[in-house]
Amino acid sequence: MRRSGDQERPQPATVAAAGSTTALPIAVRQLSKAYGAVPVLDAIDLDVRPGEFLTLLGPSGSGKTTLLMAIAGFLRPDKGSIRFGEREVVRLAPHKREIGMVFQNYALFPHMDVARNVGFPLRLRRVPVAEIARRVEAALELVQLGGFGGRRIDQLSGGQRQRVALARAIVFEPRIILMDEPLSALDKQLRERMQIELRQLHERLGTTTVYVTHDQREALTMSDRIAILDRGRIARVDTPRAIYDEPGSRFVAEFIGESSFLDVDVSGGVARAGGATIRARQLPVSHGRCTMALRPERMRLLDAGEGEDLNCFDARVTGVIYQGDTLLLQTVLGDGSPVALRLATGGAAARAPAIGAAVRIGIPVEDTVLLADEPGARP
């Protein structure tokens, strides 16, 4: 999928005639929060660029929602700083931060129709009635709900409710929008469609957006950059492609995409794993141990004579799983290490080896990723 850096950026849509839509940067410095003796955020430093779509990604308990709630003002950190542009907001009440917020459960008012739900932030700001009507309709048009203003909330589908929540978040033209897993309640097909719609809406508005999810594919699809959290700390911040291609640690490689892992022994600048000498663009250590990460879709099932530009292994097939567009081939190396290959169906399905068959597999040297061992990762 092409991202904003790969194409001409659309002109921002105008939701309201008044107010600035200039995106603001967010700077988080040494932000910490603990519950008793348990740290939830541990001296977090994070910069969100103006107009950027940044996703906070991590497993349950990693601190991503806590960090978002601290940025929103719904949670007071124990220490640290949060700045929107030049303004320190860490002690500012949520309603004074002028942010748009989309919650996981949408938080819509069931006794109000769509128009009154969307117009609620404007009524709080004492905007004139005629101006509210105009801006509400503009916001609904922007989220593809034009003409839905008179509908009751219980008359809407899950996807339509999500759009209403978005319209309410953008109707007063905030310069920062925060979203807490807004697509998690939707079914897979609708969720994937809404990912694209959200990304396109962000392109049109040009606001700074911070988005929380535990879904790695969602993060890869939507983000300019991803911040991966692990036990209250940021493990990595980078573009989706950089994180996927060069994860930097086993935790990140395990969390983003699928990987098989091999123990690598390095001696005198020569690396060996799975009974083979390993070539890579660089070695993380000159002597000792490291880890090799193998992405299944980059592994190849080799014919006789292939493998000159690959790191190759002898393996035995333990499973062949048809998954529609791909064929998952499960193998085990001579040392017992499991390695998976993901092959496109079609020709691959016709020539898939039988379970128990001896095969030769490989990965291109340019796709070979060696990771330095993390402290405490191995006995």
CA 52/CA 176 separation, integer angstroms = 10
pTM of the predicted protein model:
0.85
Domains of the chain: 4-98+174-245 (3.40.50.300), 258-372 (2.40.50.140)
Contact assessment for residue 312 and residue 276, using Cβ atoms and an 8 Å cutoff: yes
* Sign of the torsion angle spanned by Cα atoms 84, 90, 95, 99: positive
Rounded (5°) CA angle 219-251-307: 90
| Pairing mode, strands 99-102 and 225-230 | unpaired
In sequence order, what are the residues at sequence separation of 6 or more whose Cβ sits closer than 8 angstroms to the Cβ of residue 299? 339, 340, 341, 342, 361, 362, 363
Contact assessment for residue 300 and residue 367, using Cβ atoms and an 8 Å cutoff: no
Please tell me the predicted confidence (pLDDT) of residue 221. 93
Please tell me the predicted confidence (pLDDT) of residue 8. 37
pLDDT (tens, 9 = 90+) of the chain, 379 residues, equals 344 444 333 333 344 433 345 899 999 999 999 999 899 999 999 999 999 999 999 999 999 999 999 999 999 999 999 999 999 999 999 989 999 999 888 889 999 999 999 999 999 999 999 999 999 999 999 888 999 999 999 999 988 998 899 999 999 989 999 999 988 888 888 888 889 988 988 998 899 999 999 999 999 999 999 999 999 999 999 999 999 999 999 999 989 989 999 999 999 889 999 989 999 888 888 889 999 999 999 999 998 777 778 999 999 999 999 888 889 999 999 999 999 999 887 765 567 889 999 999 999 999 999 998 765 444 3
Please tell me the predicted confidence (pLDDT) of residue 10. 35
Residue listed under structure tokens 């660029």: 49
CA 369/CA 73 separation, integer angstroms = 40
CA 47/CA 342 separation, integer angstroms = 36
Please tell me the predicted confidence (pLDDT) of residue 138. 92
CA 197/CA 62 separation, integer angstroms = 27
Please tell me the predicted confidence (pLDDT) of residue 17. 34
Please tell me the predicted confidence (pLDDT) of residue 242. 94
Q: What is the pLDDT of residues 286-330, one digit of tens each?
A: 889 999 999 999 999 998 777 778 999 999 999 999 888 889 999
Please tell me the predicted confidence (pLDDT) of residue 372. 86
DSSP 365: G
